[in-house]
């Protein structure tokens, strides 16, 4: 058991990081650096940035190289974009400094087939530097490991069906744009629906389920459909009103057929919420017996951030390379300071 605090760098200081920073401190992690290029936050103490109520002495910097050179970090929490190609350089910077990486990047949860070049290069780089990189967040428990655990209580499985939803307003501009928020139908069809290089977040989760269950995929496909409203709705993230007839988000349905004869149909809904909308995490597993369960209106932001923080010890303990979360040691709630859950020296 480790007897010194985990030292962390927050790489990306947007909406999610404010929650993560608080949770890190709640669990005894020492924050030794913070990085962002947004001039509105560069130069701020993270205590002011995250409304912690006290100064920390850690100032948000736009010089990632200097931050990593000046601190002896164990791990970087990278919270910037949603897809691997645009995240590669950020991961590379941390890894080259010998720092482990955990990331909220949605594709990072299982990117082996959707971004094979980036993932294999990062895998080699991490092994060369003796560190681990892993994607985590809400998907880790509630979209992958929880349904897989529930299936362990069944005699036979025919089909797995899941539906999740979240408010794109909670995650910042990059995610809103990835969901076509504010797009007209023509632009949505061109940039989102026909973009084979942009898997839905449930695509990667479905592949991770298959990996966890040792199912081999025979075919996988997705269909993305925009959400429209008949009335205008204001988006805080865009800082503008979305006119009626423009997309407020999208639904993406991923269909998987396996060689074992088990089908998966998983739907991912991300949109600007109206007042009465709420998050969903619903699962229906057909077989013997049938099984239906859900997490009622989950706080997706809080659960994502807590999972990221609580996953850190198993990232540090994992073998070097790119390790996906379904292959990692099981998550536990850290009753005691987070470093006491690190098993390696």
d(CA 126, CA 132): 6
Lowest mean pLDDT among 1-15, 130-144, 195-209, 223-237: 195-209
For residue 288, count other CB atoms closer than 10 A to its CB: 10
d(CA 185, CA 197): 19
What's the whole-number mean pLDDT along residues 97-118? 97
Q: Strand 7-11 to strand 75-78: parallel, antiparallel, or no bridges (unpaired)?
A: parallel
Look up the pTM and report it.
0.94
d(CA 217, CA 335): 38
* Nearest of 140, 157, 96 to residue 329 by alpha carbon: 140
Q: What is the pLDDT of residue 196?
A: 61
| Helices within the chain (DSSP H only) | 15-26, 46-49, 64-70, 84-96, 116-129, 138, 146-151, 173-178, 185-188, 201-213, 300-317
In tens, the pLDDT along 267-313 reads 999 999 999 999 999 999 999 999 999 999 999 999 999 999 999 99
* Phi-psi map region of 180: left, alpha, beta (phi>0 left; psi -120 to 50 alpha): left
Confidence at 235, pLDDT banded by 50, 70, 90: very high
Tell whether omega for the bond before 289 is within 30 degrees of 0, i.e. cis: yes
What's the whole-number mean pLDDT along residues 116-128? 98
Residues 6+ apart with CB under 8 A from 105: 78, 80, 81, 82, 83, 84, 87, 135
Task: Name the DSSP letter for residue 260.
Answer: T
> How confident is the prediction for the chain on average, in pLDDT?
96
Domains of the chain: 7-137+302-341 (3.40.50.720), 139-298 (3.30.360)
Entry field: residues in the chain: 345
Give residue for tokens 């931050």.
67
In tens, the pLDDT along 171-217 reads 888 889 889 999 999 999 998 888 765 788 899 999 999 999 999 99
Q: What is the pLDDT of residue 137?
A: 98
Could you tell me what percent of the chain has a pLDDT over 90? Answer: 93
Give residue for tokens 């200081």.
13
Q: Does the pLDDT at position 99 exceed 80?
A: yes
Cross-strand pairs, 163: 267, 282
Residues 6+ apart with CB under 8 A from 314: 328, 329, 330, 331, 341
For residue 225, count other CB atoms closer than 10 A to its CB: 15
Q: What is the pLDDT of residue 199?
A: 84
d(CA 47, CA 38): 17
For residue 25, count other CB atoms closer than 10 A to its CB: 19
Q: Does the pLDDT at position 79 exceed 90?
A: yes
Q: What is the pLDDT of residue 242?
A: 97
* Nearest of 90, 126, 87 to residue 318 by alpha carbon: 126
3-state SS, residue 130: coil
Residues 6+ apart with CB under 8 A from 130: 98, 320
Question: What are the tokens at 290?
Answer: 């049938």
- Terminal CA-CA length for the chain: 7
């Amino acid at each position: 058991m480790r007897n010194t605090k985990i030292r962390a760098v927050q790489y990306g200081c947007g909406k999610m990081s404010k929650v993560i920073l608080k949770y890190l401190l709640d669990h005894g992690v020492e924050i030794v650096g913070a990085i962002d290029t947004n001039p509105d936050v560069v130069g701020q103490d993270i205590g002011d940035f995250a409304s912690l109520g006290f100064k920390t002495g850690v100032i948000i910097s736009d010089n990632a190289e200097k931050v990593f050179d000046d601190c002896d970090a164990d791990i970087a929490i990278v919270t910037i974009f949603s897809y691997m190609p645009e995240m590669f350089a950020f991961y590379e910077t941390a890894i080259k400094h010998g720092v482990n990486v955990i990331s909220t990047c949605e594709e990072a949860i299982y990117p082996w087939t959707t971004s094979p070049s980036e993932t294999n290069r990062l895998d080699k780089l991490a092994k060369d530097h003796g560190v681990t990189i892993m994607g985590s967040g809400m998907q880790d428990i509630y979209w992958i490991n929880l349904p897989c655990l529930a299936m362990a209580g069944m005699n036979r499985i025919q089909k797995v069906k899941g539906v999740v939803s979240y408010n794109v307003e909670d995650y910042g501009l990059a995610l809103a744009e990835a969901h076509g928020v504010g797009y007209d139908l023509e632009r949505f069809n061109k940039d989102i629906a026909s973009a084979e290089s942009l898997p839905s977040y449930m695509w990667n989760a479905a592949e991770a389920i298959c990996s966890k269950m040792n199912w081999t995929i025979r075919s996988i496909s997705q269909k993305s459909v925009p959400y429209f409203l008949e009335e205008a709705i204001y988006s805080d993230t865009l800082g503008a009103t979305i006119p009626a007839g423009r997309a407020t988000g999208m639904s993406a349905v991923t269909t998987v057929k396996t060689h074992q004869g088990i089908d998966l149909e998983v739907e991912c809904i991300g949109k600007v919420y109206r007042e009465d909308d709420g998050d969903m995490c619903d699962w229906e597993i057909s077989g013997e017996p049938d099984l239906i369960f859900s997490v009622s209106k989950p706080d997706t932001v809080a659960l994502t951030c807590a999972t990221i923080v609580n996953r850190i010890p198993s990232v540090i303990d994992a073998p070097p390379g790119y390790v996906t979360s379904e292959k990692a040691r099981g998550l536990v709630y850290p009753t005691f300071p987070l470093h006491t859950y690190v098993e390696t020296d």
